[in-house]
Structure 1
Amino acid sequence: MEEYSFYEGELTPDYKLAFELAIFNRREHLLLQSLTGWSSFYIINKKERSIVAAIFFNTKDRVAISPFKSPFGGIDFCEDVPNPILFNFLLFVEEILHRNKVTKVILKNPPEKYNNLLPAVTTMLIDHGYNKMEDISAIIEINAPNIESSLRHSDKRRLLKSREAGLTFQKLNIDHLRDVYTFIEECRSSKGYKLSMEFRDLEKTVQTFPHDFLLFAVFYNDRIAAASISIRVKRNVLYDFYHDHHKDFNYFSPVVMLINGIAEYCYMEDIKLLDLGTSSINNSTNVSLLNFKLKLGATPSTKFTFEKTLA
């Protein structure tokens, strides 16, 4: 275990990442969330001069949160980091934050399917005295070119009717961002909901990561019936950030065709996980929405938020 050490602060460029940082933990995205207030913590493999784990907190009013303004952030790490090292690293991070007068820590981890060691991290945080709040993500594991075999009979029938009626799935150029955003915003508004992100903030993020944001839509002639804004969180994970459909197409349930098309794209691009997100509305699980996602072939994956008040 002597080859590992813990570090706070910015590292010199000669340290290389031994794993892929999720987009929400990349420096460019952190600075979009806030230009100031960041603390960086790393586990270093001294022999390899490599970074094997990282976590980033933004502190405001003595509350340290990871991430500051993203669906999740939390700890990112190689899957071969020994558990005792991770356990002690979390203690190290907490001690530094406490020394810096932080009174509360909030940590939003990704869904546990993202990393095989995340369930172990959950246990470690509980052992360290953190309280956990649970949400459920729905994730499709991509092992076939489409999801049709996992659909219930009624959804297979809707998919067939959609095709017979002339509905088509398309991947759109990022130049259509405003059109897709406006469509989804109007669909949500008709149901009494608001999008969590203003267009100007989304546009700025897309301009920073132009290759990591993907647009998909289902069309009837030239009219959008359903659409998605998705984020390639990692090489092997696509996150369906926003999607919705117009009520005029309820009969066809065009989201079935939309998700089937996105799954096919994932298969072609060797993306292993399609994250359909949580099903929470106003901090409460929408059971019917979750069940709809599960009937599309998704499986539930727990997504935890941890909190601890520091004495």
Structure 2
Amino acid sequence: MSLNIHTSIDEIPENLRLAYFQKGYFQSQVYTQFIGYSNEDLFIPIDITPENAISIPRSPFGSFFRRNLEINEEREFIEEILADLKSRAVKTLEIHHPSLIYSSFTSHQTLEETNFSLAFTDINQHIELSEKWEDSIHNMQKRKLDSLRSDAFIFRKMESTEFETAHKFLSVCRQAQGLQINISWEQLKSLNARLPAVYDCFGVFREGKISALCIAAKVTSEVVYYYLPATSPMFRDKSPMVLLIAGMVDHYRNKGYKQLDLGVSSFLGKPQETLKIFKERMGALETGKPTFMKSL
């Protein structure tokens, strides 16, 4: 099966069934040197810096996407890519692999069989969107939910026209933490314009003021990613994120989604305990999110 090499984003295959791997997503990102590889069954996007390649930077994950879920032979495709990257003087390939809740990617075993080494494994947490979710959350979170509702905090899905307001809120919240938001308004606007069916925005309001907010991405027909969350410092003691997550669970469960991916709770494999415990109390389960390395 022939290997296709895409040196332009405009050349990548259509209809990849995954929000992060749609042409519109790649067109909204900035790459040093984009290259994609595909055949009828598989696809991988890569960014090449002078001697290193990453799949993919500035994104929750990359790796080898299985366009055909029935495929069994992947090693030949991977070996061809490694040979081509080596011919381009690339010395290492870094794979940001997704959590196991994303079934459309090559297995850990396949990467290990092609001599990728495990650099580290981050803690990824997700909520199963079942009817029994409410039973899995901690009693403390249940009390906070009751308190927020009695104090007139209101959850609602925000309009697409409110995305700029949402971005400003996210930026202010990040600044209050001494951080910077990792996506500019222009990039977010471009993403939402190119993939209007993918991104949603939700907020928790009290007397018209935003207390907490999250921009979510519908990654597959089953998984939604809790992409850009933030809580206002003014309301942090009220824990409005509890109501926000509860509202998102209810919204996406009613839409037929199976998991809400809350993302990683570690950095380079080291647990971020406060974040991890909060998600656990919201009923989240853990899976690994590995990063693999390969010397060429």
Please say if residues 46 and 55 of structure 2, whose CA atoms lie closer than 8 Å, have aligned partners that are also in contact: yes
Partner of 1:138: 125
**What CA deviation, in whole Å up to 9, does each residue of 1:11-52 have, x standing for no partner?**
xxxx987x84322222222232247733332242xxxxxxx2
Residue 122 to residue 281, structure 1, CA distance change in 2 (3 Å):
closer
Q: Distance in 2 between matches of 1:153 and 1:262?
A: 19
Partner of 1:212: 198
In structure 2, which of residues 53, 70, 93 is the aligned counterpart of residue 105 of structure 1? 93
Q: CA RMSD in A?
A: 2.5
Please say if residues 147 and 260 of structure 1, whose CA atoms lie closer than 8 Å, have aligned partners that are also in contact: no
Please say if residues 47 and 55 of structure 2, whose CA atoms lie closer than 8 Å, have aligned partners that are also in contact: yes
Q: Distance in 2 between matches of 1:16 and 1:58?
A: 17
DSSP 3-state at the match of 1:126: helix
Partner of 1:188: 174
DSSP 3-state at the match of 1:40: strand
In structure 1, which of residues 21, 37, 42 is the aligned counterpart of residue 33 of structure 2? 37
Measure how far apart 1:91 and its partner are: 1.7
Question: Percent of aligned pairs with the same residue?
Answer: 23
Please say if residues 8 and 39 of structure 1, whose CA atoms lie closer than 8 Å, have aligned partners that are also in contact: no
Q: Distance in 1 between matches of 2:267 and 2:37?
A: 33
Q: Distance in 1 between matches of 2:29 and 2:105?
A: 27
Measure how far apart 1:149 and its partner are: 1.8
Q: Distance in 2 between matches of 1:250 and 1:288?
A: 14
DSSP 3-state at the match of 2:149: helix
**What CA deviation, in whole Å up to 9, does each residue of 1:275-300 have, x standing for no partner?**
11112468743111011112211111
- Structure 1 position 90 matched with structure 2 position 78: yes
Moved over 4 A (4+): 281-284
Structure 1 gap ranges (5+): 45-51
**What CA deviation, in whole Å up to 9, does each residue of 1:135-193 have, x standing for no partner?**
1111112122x742211111101101111111111000111112112222222222222
In structure 2, which of residues 144, 153, 163 is the aligned counterpart of residue 177 of structure 1? 163
Q: Distance in 1 between matches of 2:227 and 2:212?
A: 14
Residue 184 to residue 282, structure 1, CA distance change in 2 (3 Å):
farther
Please say if residues 34 and 68 of structure 1, whose CA atoms lie closer than 8 Å, have aligned partners that are also in contact: no
Partner of 1:223: 209
Partner of 2:145: 159
Structure 1 counterpart of 2:5, one-letter code:
G
In structure 1, which of residues 54, 59, 62 is the aligned counterpart of residue 51 of structure 2? 62
Structure 2 counterpart of 1:237, one-letter code:
V
Q: Distance in 2 between matches of 1:204 and 1:90?
A: 32
Aligned length: 291
Aligned ranges for residues 284-299 of structure 1 at < 5 Å? 284-299=270-285
Q: Distance in 2 between matches of 1:223 and 1:267?
A: 26
Partner of 2:9: none
**TM-score between the two structures when normalised by the length of structure 2:** 0.89
Structure 2 counterpart of 1:95, one-letter code:
A
Please say if residues 6 and 41 of structure 1, whose CA atoms lie closer than 8 Å, have aligned partners that are also in contact: no
Q: Distance in 2 between matches of 1:70 and 1:300?
A: 20
Please say if residues 37 and 59 of structure 1, whose CA atoms lie closer than 8 Å, have aligned partners that are also in contact: yes
Partner of 2:69: 79
Bigger relative contact order (CA 8 A; separation at least 6) = 2
Please say if residues 229 and 241 of structure 1, whose CA atoms lie closer than 8 Å, have aligned partners that are also in contact: yes
DSSP 3-state at the match of 1:195: coil
Measure how far apart 1:250 and its partner are: 3.2
DSSP 3-state at the match of 1:263: helix
Please say if residues 64 and 105 of structure 2, whose CA atoms lie closer than 8 Å, have aligned partners that are also in contact: no
Please say if residues 79 and 116 of structure 1, whose CA atoms lie closer than 8 Å, have aligned partners that are also in contact: yes
Please say if residues 135 and 303 of structure 1, whose CA atoms lie closer than 8 Å, have aligned partners that are also in contact: yes
Q: Distance in 2 between matches of 1:258 and 1:31?
A: 30
Partner of 2:17: 21
Partner of 1:234: 220
**What CA deviation, in whole Å up to 9, does each residue of 1:35-94 have, x standing for no partner?**
7733332242xxxxxxx2211222231322212432212111133221xx0233222221
DSSP 3-state at the match of 1:112: coil
Q: Distance in 2 between matches of 1:177 and 1:235?
A: 23
Q: Distance in 1 between matches of 2:32 and 2:230?
A: 34
Q: Distance in 2 between matches of 1:233 and 1:35?
A: 21
Partner of 1:48: none
Please say if residues 137 and 300 of structure 1, whose CA atoms lie closer than 8 Å, have aligned partners that are also in contact: yes
